[in-house]
Amino acid sequence: MTRVIIVRHGQSGYNTERRIQGRTDASTLTEKGRNDASIVGKALSNILFNAIYSSPLQRAKHTADIIHSELATHAEQSAVIQVSDLLLEIDLPLWEALLTAEVKQKFAEDYRTWHQRPDELRMLLNDAQGTREHFPVLALYEQARHFWQETLSQHQGETILIVGHNGINRALISTALGIPPSRYHSIQQSNCGITVLNFAGGLGEPVQLESLNQTQHTGESLPSLRPDHQGIRLLLVRHGETDWNRQTRFQGQIDVPLNDNGRQQSQKAGDFLQEVAIDFACSSPMLRPKETAEIILKQHPNVKLDLQDGLREISHGLWEGKLETEIEQEFPGELQRWRLVPAQVQMPEGENLQEVWERSVAAWQSIVETASTNQFKTVLVVAHDATNKTLLCHILGLSLENFWNFRQGNGAVSVIDYPSGIDGLPVLQAMNITTHFGGGVLDKTAAGAL
C-alpha cells in the first residue's frame, strides 16, 4: 500500500481578502497560515515520509518548508521537498487577483457556470500561441492524472506528503477516486486541512479515501461553513464498535449491541460534537447505531431521535454471523467478488448494493427534505458501514463500484453540506474524522467486517 497525505497550504492574504489566487504568486501566508503550518508539522511528526512534494507557488512552498522543519526535529525524517509544477493551482488567468465579488459582477454568466457546471467553464485566451480555448477544470484534472502517473510508480509501498492548493488537491482526490470534473465542487479542502489516501498500486487500481479534510489540529472541530452557505449540514456517523466488529464477523441485520469500547467511542463522538448546535437526529433502528445516537444526544437533551428503517445495514443473508474463513469455505470465491465487484454481488438470501442504495438514498432524501421544511440547520445521522459508503457514493455522484473507496471507522464523523440548499449539489466537507479517539491523523479504529 502507498499512503499519500495531502495538505492544503496555510491561510494566505488573498484567502482573507476573498480574492481569486489561481497561479498568481503574489499572495503570502498570514501569521495564522504560518502558525497552522507549524501545527500540521507537529500533527504529522510521528509519520515517516519517504518523499515530500510541493507546489512551487510560495504560499504552498512556505507551508511545506514549515512542515518540513517540524518533521526534521525528528531525526529519522530524511525526505527533502521536491517542487513539482504538476501541483500548481488551477489556472484562472482572467480572474486572478480579482475579488470574488468582482468576478461575480464582471463575469456573471461564467461565474454561474463555474459553480453549477465547472467542467464547462471556458476562457478565451490571447497569448503567444494565438487565441485559444482554455477549460480550467478539465486542464487541472489532466494535470492531476499526470502527477499520479509520474509519482505513484516511484513510491510503491511508501508514504508521501503532498502540499498543494484547494483546486489541485481536489483534482488529485477526484482523479484517484473517479469523481467526475462536473462534481469538482463536491469536495472541499480547508487551509491546512489533512486528507489521507491509500493506493493499492497505480492510478486506476484500487484506492481508499481514509479521511478527507481533517481540520481538528487547527482548532476547527468541523470545517467552517462557507460565507454564502444557505442550506443544511448533515453529520453522518458510523455506529461505535461491537464485539463482532472486533472479531471481523459479518453482522448485517443481526442486531448486535455496542461493546464497552463502542460505548466509549460514542461518548467521545458526543464530546467532540457537544458544541455543535444539532437541531434534529436520525438513526437506523438497529441497536448499535441507535445506542450510538442516544449517547451522542445526551449532550443535546432537547433533540428528538427519529428512526429510519431505510438506514439499516445491508442484509448479508446467509453470511451473517460468520467469519471470512467460514464464508470462503461455504461460498468459494464470493468474498473475492464482494471485494472486487461489490455491485455485482447478490448476498445469498440477503440484499445487493442496489437495494441498499434505493432504501438508504430514499431515507437520506427524506431527512434532507424534513430538515429543509423545518428550517433545521444541522442534522445528526447515525448508520452503518455499508449504508454510509453507499450514501457517500450517492453524495459524490459515483457508482456503487466505488463502494470500497471509502473508509468508515466506528464512531467516525463525516460532514455533508448543502451550501445552495437542497436543490443544489451536496458537498463532502470532511470524511471519516476519528481524531476524537486520540489516535492522531490516521484512523486506528477496528478494521472489522460490515
Break the chain into its structural domains and give their ranges: 2-218, 233-437
**For position 226, what pLDDT does the model report?**
78
Q: Which CATH architecture has domain 2-218?
A: 3-Layer(aba) Sandwich (3.40)
Q: Residue 182, SS3?
A: helix
Q: How confident is the model at residue 448 (pLDDT cuts 50, 70, 90)?
A: very low
Cell 431515507, residue? 363
Q: Report the C-alpha gap between 282 and 228 in whole angstroms.
A: 26
pLDDT (average), residues 167-171: 98
**For position 180, what pLDDT does the model report?**
96
CA atoms within 13 A on the CB side of 175: 20
CATH for 233-437 is 3.40.50.1240
| DSSP conformational letter for 254 | S
Amino acid of residue 391: L
Q: How confident is the model at residue 447 (pLDDT cuts 50, 70, 90)?
A: low
Closest CA to 225 of 36, 429, 21: 429
**For position 25, what pLDDT does the model report?**
97
Q: Report the C-alpha gap between 130 and 73 in whole angstroms.
A: 50
Closest CA to 390 of 444, 313, 316: 313
**For position 439, what pLDDT does the model report?**
84
Q: How confident is the model at residue 450 (pLDDT cuts 50, 70, 90)?
A: very low
Query: Helix 31-43 crosses helix 58-71 at what angle (to 10 degrees)?
Result: 40
Q: State percent of the chain over pLDDT 70.
A: 99
pLDDT (average), residues 12-21: 96
pLDDT (average), residues 110-132: 91
Neighbour count for residue 284 (Cβ, 10 Å) = 26
Q: Report the C-alpha gap between 42 and 62 in whole angstroms.
A: 16
Query: pLDDT (tens digit, 9 = 90+) per residue, 19-66?
Result: 999 999 999 999 999 999 999 999 999 999 999 999 999 999 999 999
Amino acid of residue 63: T
Amino acid of residue 130: G
CA distances from 66 to 11, 61, 81, 87, 287 (A): 13, 9, 11, 18, 46
Neighbour count for residue 56 (Cβ, 10 Å) = 13
What's the predicted TM-score (pTM) here?
0.96
**For position 378, what pLDDT does the model report?**
97
**For position 126, what pLDDT does the model report?**
84
Segment (H or E) for 210: strand 207-214
Across the chain, mean pLDDT equals: 95
Helices (H), 2-155: 13-17, 31-43, 58-71, 100-106, 108-116, 136-151
Q: Which residues are catalytic?
A: 239, 313
Q: Report the C-alpha gap between 21 and 28 in whole angstroms.
A: 11
Task: Return the beta strands (E) in 219-333 as ranges.
Answer: 233-238, 280-283, 305-307
**For position 75, what pLDDT does the model report?**
58
Residue 302 has pLDDT above 90, yes or no: yes
- Whether the CB-CB separation of 165 and 188 falls below 8 Å is answered with no
Exposure class string for 408-446: b at 16+ Cβ within 10 A, else e: bbbbbbbbbbbbbeeeebbbbbbbbbbbbbeebbbbebb
Exposure class string for 348-361: b at 16+ Cβ within 10 A, else e: eebbbbeebbebbb
Exposure class string for 220-256: b at 16+ Cβ within 10 A, else e: bbbbebeeebebbbbbbbbbbbbebbeeebbbbbbeb
DSSP letter string, 231-242 = S-EEEEEEPPP-
Cell 487541472, residue? 140
Does 233-437 match 2-218 at the fold level?
Answer: yes
Q: How confident is the model at residue 78 (pLDDT cuts 50, 70, 90)?
A: confident
pLDDT (average), residues 243-260: 94
Q: Report the C-alpha gap between 399 and 422 in whole angstroms.
A: 21
Neighbour count for residue 274 (Cβ, 10 Å) = 13
| DSSP conformational letter for 347 | -
